[in-house]
A and B are shown apart, each in its own frame.
Chain A
Amino acid sequence: MITVKNITKTYGRKQNAFVAIDSASFTIPDATTVAILGKSGSGKSTLMHAMSGLDRPEVGEVVIDGQDILTMKPKEVDRFRATKMSFIFQSFFVQANESCYDNVSLPLEIAKVPWAERKQKVEAALAAVQLLDKKKSRARDLSGGQKQRLAIARAIVNEPQIIFADEPTGNLDSATGAVVEDFLFNYVKERGATLIVVTHDEELANKCDARIDIKDGKISATKGLDRKAKK
């Protein structure tokens, strides 16, 4: 369960100050897929960064599994991210010069997963996105859709509880995007993980259990969160 309490994030100072998130509060139950919707500049990415501990709002709490990640030490937050979260980005951020295998192995290395377990986990993740045959190929030789599938493999390899996806299909055509979405949603459903998708794509948002609309840094509407929470 992720509880966001009253977070506010401001950029700049004094007259240049810009409030990116203005006292946002909500609770996301476990095993939920949530879409954060908003126009560009609405603060939806900042919200995601705050929820993942990448950014630190000056006010508020982000409680994940009973721990307020905003009061944790940087090392603890890093450890938290390495073991419990993962990310998927619009522009993939796969390491073009490295093999698919090494790309997927990175989160395991960061999380200090022992050598012996890595191979099996990496191959399972690659198999889940149907890229096992590309294990030794360099990431640069993959197509856009394959790159995002590789990114998904990287995101799921360490079996995270929460996956943050920032416009995961923004750089893909709709057919490829749909395939990528399927992989993502299948994994989340199978594992009972939480998926938080930042998007402005209504279609993608409709596939999620819940949605949070954000406008000018303020949460304008939420849907589906309470219903799930009561369950």
Chain B
Amino acid sequence: MKTTDIIRRAGRSLRQAKTRTLLTSLAIGVGAFTITLSLAGGQGGREYADAIVRSNTDVRELLVTKESEDANTIAEYTPGGPGAVPSGAGTPGGPFTRGFQFLGTSDLEVMADIENVNGVTPNYSPSVDYITTKGQKKYQASVSTFSPTVSLKYAAGGVEGDLRDDQIILAEDYASTLGFTNPADAIGKTVQIGATKQRTIFSGAEAREFTYTVAGVSSESGLAFRSQGSLLLGESAIKELYIYVSEGTASYNRFLAASVRVNEPEQAEEVKAILEEKGYTAQTSADVLGTVNTFINVLLGILLGFGALAVITSIFGIVNTQYISVLERTQQIGLMKALGMSQTDVGKLFTFEAAWIGFLGGAIGAGLAVVGGSIANPAISEALGLGDISLLIFSPLQVLGVITGLIAISIIAGILPARKASKLDPIEALRTE
């Protein structure tokens, strides 16, 4: 029998048992629905993450660190030696330092010499003592560098481009702690940051207050994923603080990390390779995205698991339906065999019926998911405050993949009933009682 004829007959048999076919298909449809939505959520999640990373990091920037030769052992202490962890406050301690070497001025020069590198900025992380403003107590503080390429959401104020040397951006909670009645109230006011010069730690303290004008108050952003730090200073302002605090200490001009800027975004990977060849560890914004995507993929995996569970359940539905169908149509099968239909063709007939059921279920489930998801998308975005970002993104290829996959699974589920049909003895089947 020709395959097209078998497919036609299979479709016709299913139409003759409409309710049963539809119910069995719906069981698979539930799986198709879940899987399609999960995949769309995964796709949307990845694109959302991409948007976040893009707005939080610069695609032309690489974060460079240097791992010690043997990252798994703690480096031996050699006073003032190149690989040693410098003593004294002013360098962030903790587990992060373990296994890392500090970057010295020579390292920065090496990086700057690489082709297509536009600039190298070390991560200044001066340890400051407190922040205060007129008539207020002193509060603990830590400062970070403001990056003009990273998008910030402002509760009040804000800057275009880079911060000036005398400007600061406060986080919303700092603004309220420092006694400003509302974020707008803080704009234009001055705050003082106190820092201690560490070189003089043995010969008596030397401390100084630096004054900045509040240029903006940052609030939490829908797209902010990397901690922006609660106090942001311009690059040269933070460098000034750094020099004041660290100059003359063993940790002076030793940095945990540096930002390397390349000319064009496409060159980031290339420069990364060169840096790694030279013994540095470099992280591009694509790497950061990769980390976030791993997380999304885990979530996606869980959702897909539920979908798979629904599909597995529906497999038994298909097996059951097809068995009943074989029993019901014993005479028909017997007749077809008597008329010379081969075992293989009888098997195929039932396999195609199962495939039809899978196709129907897949199409119904995936179709409902696409329609329902498209309708729900604006509501979801609004509820989560995502703006015009869609969390569910349906790709035709994925939907097609889901349907194809379910057809394949249905065919597998149909193997046993199809075998039963093909092995049926026509004489038994045609016996009239």
Chain A positions within 8 Å of B, measured between CB atoms, are: 49, 52, 54-55, 74-75, 78-83, 85-87, 89-91, 93, 95, 97-98, 102, 106-107, 109-112
Contacts and interface: CB of A to CB of B under 8 A. Distances in A.
B379 interface: no
Contacts of A74: 342-343
B336 A106 contact: yes
B340 A111 contact: yes
28 contacts: A52-B338, A54-B337, A75-B342, A78-B337, A78-B340, A78-B341, A78-B343, A79-B340, A81-B338, A82-B339, A83-B340, A85-B340, A89-B335, A89-B430, A89-B432, A91-B432, A93-B332, A93-B334, A93-B430, A95-B335, A107-B339, A107-B340, A109-B2, A109-B5, A110-B1, A110-B336, A111-B340, A112-B1
Interface residues of B, number: 23
Given A55-B427, A98-B12, A112-B2, A80 B432 contact: no
Given A54-B426, A89-B430, A97 B16 contact: yes
B331 interface: yes
A97 B337 CA distance: 19
Contacts, number: 62
Nearest to B344: A75
B199 interface: no
A102 B331 CA distance: 16
A152 to B, nearest CB: 14
Interface of B: 1-2, 5, 9, 12, 16, 331-332, 334-343, 345, 426-427, 430, 432
Given A74-B343, A82-B340, A49 B9 contact: no
Given A54-B426, A54-B427, A55-B427, A95 B332 contact: yes
Given A89-B432, A93-B335, A102-B12, A110 B341 contact: yes
A52 B5 CA distance: 25
Given A85-B340, A95-B332, A109-B1, 14 more contacts: A54-B337, A74-B342, A78-B343, A86-B339, A93-B332, A93-B334, A93-B430, A106-B336, A107-B339, A109-B2, A109-B9, A110-B1, A110-B345, A111-B340
Contacts of A52: 338
